Chain A
Amino acid sequence: MIKVEHLTKNYQRVKRREGILGSVRTLFSAEYETTRAVDDISFHINEGELVGYIGPNGAGKSTSIKMLCGILVPTGGQIEVNGLVPHKNRMENARQIGAVFGQKTQLWWDVPVIESLRLFRDIYKVPEAQFKHNLNMFNDLLDLHEFQSTPVRQLSLGQRMRADMAAALLHNPRLLFLDEPMIGVDVVAKERLRTFIQKINREQKVTILLTTHDMGDIEKVCSRIMIIDHGHIVYDGNIDQMRNKYGTQRTLVVEFEEPIADFDAPHTTLVKSEGRKKWFAFNRFETSPSTLITYIGARFPILDLAVEEPEIEAIVRTIYQGSAGTAKVDGA
């Protein structure tokens, strides 16, 4: 469905000079600096996949999505979306994809949602039967009818996201790009959007690329995760594998029957101690919970035990930190 090979994107920006005199000089002779936003990335996405695309701000996520949409021309490398080269066939490509950018709406600000959708129908030449069918589906799954006659400017963020989602899917695209669709959306609305995304992926076989900062989205929705940082892809695989590879740190929480002075157990670090509870961090390749429990239980009476898995957020943080320092900024 999507083939990306050695994709690179450089931005040229005018170097700003300080002060008024500097601004005036910029008018006459501008100096440019080149920033590499996407640096030699390659990946394939198959039909029907739901891929989480994550990375810190400025990592190159939006840039790569814009290139996949054909509204940005790559500096180097190849892209193919369902057999088309997006920037060479922008309009044809636009018909087979849908996109939601969380930061900006695609709907018209001043008109009711339903009017915007009707205009989308006319722009994408959606047959009337399909339009009706899809509207019904959106009513069922997104409760569109609750706010369909409200102008977009008056919608809450959650409603706007639902309306944008409906607009992006009206023409039955094979492929959906979601660029931070959950940004600023409350917990309840978020849950609905997640369910909706899963549903259209499973039932309508829409291939989805989702960027987000919310690891909950990734855990609950995605089968595969790609992590990009400083323009490089630093991880590509499923979530369990990522846990196995990077999430080696576990924490054993022990509650004792009575307060006990801090002590060390082999291959562990005591990370926290609070009343009768203590937290021991350990690497699961160096020791196991059972060994630890036996060791501690033989010394002190234990009331309760728990082993905490690392949060996915912590894992991703480790991966980001591991990839830091590979930043490339070329002066030009």
Chain B
Amino acid sequence: MKLFWAFARQHFHATALYRVDFWLRVASTPILMYGTRWVWITLYTQRPGAFGVSLQQMVTYAVLSMAIENLFYTGPQYYMAQQARSGAIDADLLKPLDFHFHMLARSTGEMLFRIIVIALPAMLVGYFLFDLQLPATLQTGFLFVVAILLGYLVNFHLEFLLGSVALVTLEIHSIDWAFHATARFFSGQFVPLWLFPGVLGLLANILPFRSTFSTPLSIYTGVVTGGAVTEAIGFQMLWLILLFIISRWLWERVQARIVLQGG
């Protein structure tokens, strides 16, 4: 845990260097929240009752999805690709750290930083300016946090797997682009998954991507309740365990290759 905070602290310092980038990110969040809210209000005026939930639920879903936009994609794969290309991966292996854990600590540190500096302020702004509702009960709020953390872990492992591949191919951009397009589409960040038709809806329900946005947001807004909540969180855990095992397995192989070939 101490190491997670240590990495989070490091991000505070690193971010202090890239102030413009940081403020742009902070400023863009309210604009996105405002924009999506406006889109849903317009759609509801045109076709009330076509989207399966109340306008209030939908606005909360949309505004919150923009507020937590920055939590998930911490991007360990960029770090890994960069270290591999520059040969600095040696310095990582030189430290008495399990590499998988090292990346998890780095990413989690960055996520903690983003929660404190971007997501929480954005949620306050959303609450005061954009009709962001509070969760129905304290328990719902708690389950939302659990689902967020599991969603983060599922996504971290997907990105870690990408990074492991990048360590071998030394190329990340095209494959990363494809990953992000797929992940964002099937995560339900922009269009809630219950609006997906037929096969697309089925696919979205099987793939791991819904763990990030759809599951926590559906719990928060009360779209998913009761036994379905346990089911949704169980689904996240299942994917997490599976991805964890694959990550360990793949990393062992990649590391063996690095230490045989020499970076």
Contact = CB atoms under 8 A, between A and B. Distances in A.
Contacts of A90: 93
A177 B25 CA distance: 42
Contacts, number: 70
Interface in B150-166: none
Contacts of A69: 94
A99 to B, nearest CB: 6
Interface string A1-44: 00000000001100000000000000000000000000000000
Given A104-B91, A110-B13, 11 more contacts: A63-B262, A69-B94, A73-B260, A91-B96, A91-B97, A94-B96, A95-B96, A104-B88, A110-B18, A118-B9, A119-B7
Given A94-B95, A94-B96, A110-B13, A122 B6 contact: yes
A111 B10 CA distance: 7
A118 B13 CA distance: 12
Contact of A106 (B86, B94, B258): B94
A66 B13 contact: no
Given A111-B13, A123-B96, A124-B96, A101 B91 contact: yes
A12 B86 CA distance: 19
Nearest to B3: A122
B3 A11 contact: no
A87 B95 CA distance: 13
Interface in A85-121: 87, 90-92, 94-95, 99, 101, 104-106, 108, 110-112, 115, 118-119
Interface in B60-108: 86-88, 90-91, 93-98
Contacts of B260: 12, 72-73
A71 interface: yes
B259 interface: yes
B6 A119 contact: yes
A301 B261 CA distance: 66
Interface of B: 2-3, 6-7, 9-10, 13-14, 17-18, 86-88, 90-91, 93-98, 256, 258-262
A118 B2 CA distance: 11
Chain A to chain B: the 10 pairs with minimum beta-carbon distance, closest first: A94-B96, A122-B6, A110-B14, A111-B13, A71-B93, A106-B91, A91-B96, A95-B96, A73-B259, A115-B13
Interface in A35-85: 63, 66, 69-73
Nearest to A104: B88
Nearest to B13: A111
A289 interface: no
6 contacts: A73-B256, A73-B260, A87-B259, A111-B13, A115-B13, A118-B9
B91 A72 contact: no
Contacts of A123: 3, 6, 95-97
Nearest to B88: A104
A154 to B, nearest CB: 10
Interface string A118-136: 1100111000000000000
Among A11, A12, A115, max chain B CB count under 10 A is at A115
Contact of A12 (B3, B98, B261): B261
Contacts of B97: 91, 123
Contacts of B261: 11-12
Contacts of A106: 91, 94
